[in-house]
């Protein structure tokens, strides 16, 4: 198996192994608003640094930035390439709790690598992340509709996150009980 694929499978399997405890059925709206760097964002889902997108659509970098800005996510963070460099790289969520412990809330923590849906975002937030970065997740939208497609992917993922929050009785992204995620 090629190394990138095995790391991606490891990461995917770890995300999928974490279970979410459903606590509330039919509860009210949940808020995904967050304050970061002095600004208020409507979603904790942001776009990872991306390159080599030529061929997917015209002006891909501008389109990604445009779609991310329109979706409310305005931050780009340099990351570890989503585990595609080293074989057997640790899935981000496995190491996250240790990092949260060390950082003690002093600076925002982002999870990068393997995010494909709202429940992945939920698990990352529940385990202490302030937000997540998505790379491959936005590719399908970028390829089909450029910036508008990126906006749709992020907005849909945010809605999926809100739905999970409603079902777990999590009123906002700062009040997600870590015990909701089972190992």
Ligand X SMILES: Cc1cc2nc3c(=O)[nH]c(=O)nc-3n(C[C@H](O)[C@H](O)[C@H](O)COP(=O)(O)O)c2cc1C
Q: For ligand X, what does the binding mask look like between residues 61 and 100, x meaning CB under 6 A?
A: -----------------xx-xx------------------
Q: Which of 136, 145, 148, 160 binds ligand X (CB under 6 A)?
A: 136
- Residue 167 sits in the site that holds ligand X (CB under 6 A): no
- Residue 50 sits in the site that holds ligand X (CB under 6 A): yes
- Residue 49 sits in the site that holds ligand X (CB under 6 A): yes
Catalytic member of 12, 66, 81, 117: 81
Least distance (Å) from ligand X to the CB of residue 76? 9
- Residue 111 sits in the site that holds ligand X (CB under 6 A): no
Here the tokens at position 177 are: 């009980």
Least distance (Å) from ligand X to the CB of residue 25? 31
- Residue 46 sits in the site that holds ligand X (CB under 6 A): no
Residues that bind ligand X (CB under 6 A): 48-53, 78-79, 81-82, 112-115, 134-137
Q: What are the catalytic residues?
A: 81
């Amino acid at each position: 198996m090629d190394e990138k694929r095995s790391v991606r499978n490891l990461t995917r399997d770890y995300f999928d192994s974490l279970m979410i405890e459903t606590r509330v059925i039919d509860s009210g709206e949940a808020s995904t608003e967050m304050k970061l760097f002095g600004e208020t964002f409507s979603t904790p889902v942001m776009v990872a640094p991306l390159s080599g997108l030529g061929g997917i659509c015209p002006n891909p970098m501008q389109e990604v930035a445009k779609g991310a800005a329109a979706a409310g996510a305005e931050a780009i963070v340099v990351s570890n390439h989503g585990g595609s460099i080293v074989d057997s790289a640790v899935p981000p969520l496995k190491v996250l709790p240790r990092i949260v412990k060390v950082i003690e809330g002093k600076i925002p923590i982002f999870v990068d690598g393997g995010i494909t849906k709202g429940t992945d975002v939920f698990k990352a937030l529940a385990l202490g992340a302030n937000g997540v970065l998505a790379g491959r997740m936005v590719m399908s939208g970028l390829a089909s509709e450029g910036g508008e497609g990126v906006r749709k992917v992020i907005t849909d993922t945010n809605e999926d996150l809100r739905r999970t929050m409603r079902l777990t009785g999590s009123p906002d992204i700062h009040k997600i009980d870590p015990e909701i995620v089972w190992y």
